Amino acid sequence: MAVHLFAGECIVFAIWSYIIITVKADDFCQIPGEYSEQSSENVDCQTYSNYRFRYILYDVNPPEGFNLRRDVYMRIARFVRKLSGEDGSWKLVLPPWTKLYHWQSADVGKQSQLPWRLFFDVASLQKFAPVVEMDEFLKEYDSTTIDEVFVLQHYKDAFKTGKWEEKYEIQPCVDEPRYRERADGGAGGFSGWFWGLPDVTARRVRCLSFHGHASQLQDTVQLHPHARTIMFDHAEVALHDAFGDRLYWMARRSMRFAPALRRIAAEFREEHLNSTDEADGTVRPDDWTAETAVTGTKGGPYLAVHLRRKDFVWGRPKEVPSVIGAAAQIKAHLDKLEMCAVFIATDAPEEEFEELKSHLTGYKVFHYRPSSAVKKRHKDGGIAIIDQIICSHARFFVGTYESTFSFRIQEEREILGFPPETTFNRLCGDGQKTCSKPSVWRIVF
């Protein structure tokens, strides 16, 4: 690594192999001996060695749905797991779930600032990365001001050159950020959208053009030894360090759903679909770290279909079938499998579901309909997870083209050890005699 320090211009260039960083010296607090030859006395930065923990926070592009957000979590969890390393001084703050575009039920109470424990088994997540819920963080941190916020953004030419280059750079914001400098100029210099939490502010907010893997965020952290809390907004800009390797799957396996949701799904399977873990061969160790590779899983005696409607109907008209087209494909699958029971997970309005059923007379069509108490307790997000769990346990699964909701089901089925030909299937658009199969991402232990 070569380091050039131009004192007059206050610019540090750190250049090594294929990484280029351009940073103004007053933008970043330098680590003596690492990026410059300054002695520690000259560095106007305080390290937080007197605190037990430092924290990484993050947020995601607002329109992104639940299941893409799960993927972003895995990228950041892997980064913080590595960052925390041996001394365990870093924690990852789980961003509360704010109201997502798809969570449209008006009869379930508040759907914002929801903790992760509503959907996931947080103790299980903690076996992969040192995560903490936002409410616990706010108690531990004893402040509501985040030291440094970096809004990640793509380079303007990121996808034009075709040349892979890991780089990052503080640059003017391309889009209007969700934060504004406060007129009162207090210690919490910026207010704005912090997961809808009214009191949270930031000392400093800057845009960071970023092209590379999530682990590259480590450089930004190291350049800020004074910061006890660092937030990365638009964390989806950072890529997976490695997609589909052992660590990827460890992160994925750690994302076990909340026990209450697993229980409801298990009851539904047993009551309506004649499906139990014992009979289906889907018993798993209580602790995901004790899991080993499984193959040839049988699953419950039903076909499961994820029929994504709403925005997918007009967004992907060639790839998403009409209701009648979907029914014809479901019938063909059931006949081929010599089965009569199908479970449908869908975001379709009730009329569309009834229409689908009307084309499937002679077959047993199941759909999970929660009681109003269950809906209020587990919200739209929890009901969607129950649908996903039921789909994950079916003997055969058919998903929707390019839906991350379907992808997460496929991953769950890989963890459970289903033969891939029972998992990586999709509904074709009307008029497509054959259509491309979903990419097959096999689990790695």
Query: Which tokens in the block code for residue 398?
Result: 């058919």
Cβ–Cβ < 8 Å for 208, 150: yes
Compare residues 108 and 383 and give the one whose CB is closer to ligand GFB: 383
Compare residues 327 and 383 and give the one whose CB is closer to ligand GFB: 383
Q: Which residue type does 293 have? A: A
Q: How far is the CB of 218 from ligand GFB (least distance, A)?
A: 28
Compare residues 29 and 386 and give the one whose CB is closer to ligand GFB: 386
Rounded to the nearest 5 degrees, what angle is found at the Cα of 54, between the Cα atoms of 231 and 129? 80
**Selection from 57, 290, 48 nearest residue 194 by Cα:** 57
Q: Choose, from 64, 136, 355, 402, the residue flagged as catalytic.
A: 64
**Selection from 320, 330, 391, 327 nearest residue 355 by Cα:** 327
Annotated active-site residue 136? The verdict is no
Q: How far is the CB of 286 from ligand GFB (least distance, A)?
A: 26
Compare residues 114 and 383 and give the one whose CB is closer to ligand GFB: 383
Q: Which residue type does 358 have? A: S
Residues that bind ligand GFB (CB under 6 A): 63, 65-68, 101-103, 306, 308, 311, 345-347, 380, 383-384, 387, 403-405
Compare residues 46 and 104 and give the one whose CB is closer to ligand GFB: 104
What is the torsion angle, in degrees rounded to the nearest 10, for the CA atoms of residue 407, residue 408, residue 414 and residue 419? -50
Q: How far is the CB of 387 from ligand GFB (least distance, A)?
A: 4
Compare residues 77 and 383 and give the one whose CB is closer to ligand GFB: 383
Q: How far is the CB of 384 from ligand GFB (least distance, A)?
A: 4
Q: How far is the CB of 312 from ligand GFB (least distance, A)?
A: 7
Closest residue to ligand GFB, Cβ-based? 65
d(CA 194, CA 188): 13
Q: How far is the CB of 111 from ligand GFB (least distance, A)?
A: 10
Compare residues 12 and 389 and give the one whose CB is closer to ligand GFB: 389
Q: How far is the CB of 100 from ligand GFB (least distance, A)?
A: 7
Q: Which residues are catalytic?
A: 64
